[in-house]
Amino acid sequence: VFCRIDVREYGIKVCSIMPGFVNTPMLHSATQNFNFDKCIQSEDIAEGVLYILRTPYNVCPTEIKYRPQYTPILK
């Protein structure tokens, strides 16, 4: 089992990124209908990764949760 405590002494940061509905091919193949304009874009997730990488050496974000501002599920 991987543990962030085991690797932090090497300067390795471990962060869980938990996205909601992301506009990806996987979501396009879902059986439910979505408004893809209201989904999170992959570029938004990439910005979160850059945020983690840009934090100071002594700071380690542990979780980032992304949720769409408005529901992308069509009724």
Residue 33 placed within a domain: yes
Residue 75 placed within a domain: no
Residue 72 placed within a domain: no
Residue 73 placed within a domain: no
pLDDT tens, per residue, the chain with 75 residues: 568 889 988 989 999 999 999 999 999 998 899 999 999 999 999 999 999 999 999 999 999 999 999 999 998
Domain count, the chain: 1
The first and second tokens of residue 72, run together, are: 């992308």
- Tell me the chain's radius of gyration from C-alpha atoms: 16
The pTM of this model reads: 0.79
Query: At 32, which helix (H) or strand (E)?
Result: none
Residue in the structure block whose two tokens are 């543990």? 3
Give me the torsion for CA of 55, 58, 62, 10, rounded to 10°: 110
Domain that holds residue 55: 4-66
Beta bridge partners of 63: 16
Residue 24 placed within a domain: yes
Residue 71 placed within a domain: no
How far is Cα 10 from Cα 53, in angstroms, rounded to an integer?
15
